[in-house]
């Protein structure tokens, strides 16, 4: 009876259960083997983000995508792989797997193709810039962006424009090492795009974003983040992660506008005089929005960390934080320990403090602080949306 209910009477319940297993790859595969009904519900979840960095996600699925290509494309695949002395046999796919894709992780796609080739070559390493792999990667791009019937140009650069065909389904985009071109403006037509991650890209890319973005992650090496560009689309940001940024007046103004912000991670990378930094940290603390629940200031080099001024930050912060992430070094100073206790007794919302190098924290200090808040290792509560 229960089996019948799950198969016929309660499909939505079963689907919700399976969705909560989206990161449990082996469990989902087991569900797919139960029966045809479970298989049809499990497979779309398994294939919505195949290029994620979850360890169980190996590269063995790449040939399945190759088998979904047209006959002409398969000939190109065979010719490319012959150069590496790799033989491939195409089998008829059970599903149209490309149709289930929801997260287009461009950088990881290239990595997975190379990983699969290394497996076929008995783990012989391929250089990252081996141009012979480009046709393989480009053909998979074409498969994804044409899947909804859109027109996809054959050259690599035209693939971004071809995302127009995915404008109603694309939810997340990850860009690494990209230079801005007008083609990227097509992302503004992706009305369901919620998450954007930009790593070591041209800062001009930030000018194409719109109001729908709720999760934004920006990581730069030496390029300052153009705050003015961020301000134009900031109203709906819930999760913000930025590295290598100074606490400028522009940043303070930006955070003032983030009235829905709940998660904030900052890596401070600019050196100021102690007096100037005191003032900026005080201003920063005062403008943190009342919606903020999570603050990670443990990122960066020791001499540029924001949490080296944790006493000033906490004494002037009125945001109802539930989780605070800092380094053990800062809490080994009495002034910072007392500031944390004052914040806990004044605001009364803080549940956890995540600490980098947790076991380096002085035992006596830990025992005192644990009377007011739960202390845990940084990795236990860090959030990567």
Domain ranges of the chain: 2-46, 262-385
Low-confidence residues of the chain, pLDDT below 50?
A: 1-9, 129, 149-157, 221-223, 301-304
Residue 21, pLDDT score: 63
- Asked if residue 352 lies in contact with residue 381, where contact means CB atoms within 8 angstroms, the answer is yes
- On whether the pTM is more than 0.85, the answer is no
The predicted pLDDT at position 267 comes to 78
**The pLDDT value given to residue 102:** 79
pLDDT at 370: 95
Q: What is the reported pLDDT for 95?
A: 84
Chain position carrying tokens 């499990």: 42
- Report the phi/psi class of residue 348: left, alpha or beta, with left for phi > 0 and alpha for psi in -120 to 50: left
Q: What is the pLDDT of residues 190-242, one digit of tens each?
A: 888 888 888 766 666 776 666 678 998 887 543 455 566 666 666 789 999 98
Instruction: Please state, in angstroms and rounded to a whole number, the distance separating the CA atoms of residues 10 and 209.
Output: 40
Q: Give me the residues paired with residue 264 across strands.
A: 240, 295
Q: What is the pLDDT of residue 20?
A: 59
Would you state the pLDDT for residue 238?
A: 94
Q: What is the pLDDT at residue 340? A: 96
Q: Identify the pLDDT of residue 10.
A: 55
Residue 3 to residues 33, 112, 184, 310, Cα–Cα distance (Å): 15, 37, 48, 56
- Main-chain phi, psi angles of 374, to 5 degrees: -85, 125
């Amino acid at each position: 009876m229960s089996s019948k209910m799950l198969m016929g009477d309660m499909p939505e319940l079963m689907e919700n259960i399976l969705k909560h297993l989206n990161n449990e790859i082996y469990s989902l595969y087991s569900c797919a083997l139960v029966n045809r009904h479970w298989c049809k519900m499990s497979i779309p979840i398994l294939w919505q983000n195949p290029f994620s960095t979850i360890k169980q996600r190996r590269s063995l699925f790449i040939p399945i995508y190759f088998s979904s290509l047209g006959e002409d494309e398969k000939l190109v695949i065979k010719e490319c792989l012959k150069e590496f002395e790799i033989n491939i046999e195409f089998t008829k796919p059970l599903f149209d797997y490309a149709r289930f894709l929801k997260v287009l992780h461009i950088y990881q796609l290239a990595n997975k193709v190379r990983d699969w080739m290394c497996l076929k070559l008995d783990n012989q390493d391929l250089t990252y810039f081996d141009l012979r792999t480009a046709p393989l990667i480009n053909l998979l791009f074409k498969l994804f962006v044409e899947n909804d019937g859109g027109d996809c140009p054959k050259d690599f650069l035209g693939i971004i424009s071809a995302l127009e065909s995915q404008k109603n389904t694309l939810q997340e985009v990850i860009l690494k090492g990209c230079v801005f071109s007008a083609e990227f403006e097509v992302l503004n037509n992706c009305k369901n795009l919620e998450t954007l991650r930009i790593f070591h890209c041209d800062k001009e890319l930030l000018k194409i974003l719109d109001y729908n973005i709720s999760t934004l992650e920006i990581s730069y090496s030496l390029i300052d983040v153009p705050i003015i560009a961020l301000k134009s689309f900031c109203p709906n940001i819930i999760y913000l992660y930025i590295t290598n940024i100074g606490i400028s007046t522009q940043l303070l103004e930006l955070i003032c506008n983030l009235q829905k912000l709940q998660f904030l991670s900052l890596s401070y990378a600019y050196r100021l005089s102690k007096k100037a930094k005191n003032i900026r940290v005080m201003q920063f603390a005062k403008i943190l929005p009342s919606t903020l629940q999570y603050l990670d200031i443990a990122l960066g080099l020791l001499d540029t960390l924001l949490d080296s001024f944790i006493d000033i930050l906490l004494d002037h912060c009125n945001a109802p934080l539930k989780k605070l992430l800092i380094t053990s070094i800062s809490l080994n100073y009495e002034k910072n320990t007392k500031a944390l206790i004052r914040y806990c007794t004044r605001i009364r919302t803080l549940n956890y403090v995540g600490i980098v190098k947790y076991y380096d924290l002085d035992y006596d200090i830990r025992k005192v602080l644990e009377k007011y808040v739960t202390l845990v290792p940084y990795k236990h509560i860090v959030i990567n949306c």
